[in-house]
Amino acid sequence: MNTIDSIATPVMTTGRLFNAYVQEAKSECLRYLRNPGFLLPTLLFPSVFYLMFGIFLAHSNSADAPRYLLASYGSFGVMAPGLFGFGVSLALERDTGLLTLKRAMPMPPGAYLIGKMCMAMLVAAVISIILLCMAVFLAGVSLPASRLGMFFVLEILGVLPFCALGLLIGTLVKGQGAPGVVNLIYLPMAFLSGLWFPLSVMPSFIQSIAPLWPAYHLDQIALSVVGLGQGSVLGHVLVLVGFTAAFLLIAARRLRRYG
């Protein structure tokens, strides 16, 4: 029998496999938490907007404005960790060869993407905590603990469709152009989904195309969680699941084909 064939292929134990995922997730989280250029705008944009319009200017709006804007700016806030954390970083890491290096390392192939997903969910959790604290302690929003908990979980899970979209963008554009492309998607999507202004005051054309954007569906679920939704949320959940699956499948095919 051939000596080479008789040598057993080393297999990672379950413990080492789990540790590889944990260490990659920890590395990604620490890397982005130590990057003020990513972290500060991501945390400050939704917080400052809510402070201005949900607290300081709330007296000029309806009594439900703080709750309504909590849902809207919460949805707006979790878009950035997914789009920028995946889209921009993946494009840069493909250009610099870091993605190729990670693929050559003896680590599970999914650890890289799981690590980035954990980073995005962690940042989304921090954003939701900040907004909830501002809403409850500064804006006087009164919601049962169950709804506050549901909103927190929704924000963490709500980042996933934008992680998938960011992953797709990262496979399509070069590193230098990625920030511009992401901003061209991020800001118009927020506007067209009714996150900055209620869709009821916007032109009928914008109202008709709002369901095309995942941010719209996340916002509708968030509005239901804070007690301002209309109708069932099941359809919006299914649409978000469909968006996520479609973006992931297309991105995975491109990564396998082009790297």
- The per-residue pLDDT for range 180-190, each reduced to its tens digit, is 999 999 999 99
Could you list the residue range(s) of the whole structural domain that residue 141 is in? Answer: 14-258
Over the range 165-179, which residues count as b (16 or more CB within 10 Å of their CB) and which as e? bbbbbbbebebeebb
Q: Which residues of the chain have pLDDT under 70?
A: 1-12, 59-60, 258-259
pTM of the complete model beyond 0.75: yes
Tally of structural domains, the chain? 1
Residue 120 lies in a domain: yes
Residue 6 domain-assigned (yes or no): no
Inside any domain, residue 5: no
Give me the pLDDT at residue 220, please. Answer: 96
Residue 1 within any structural domain of the chain: no
Whether 185 maps to a domain, the answer reads yes
Unique residue bearing structure tokens 């929704």: 154
3 in a structural domain = no
Inside any domain, residue 4: no
Rounded CA separation 19/243 (Å): 30
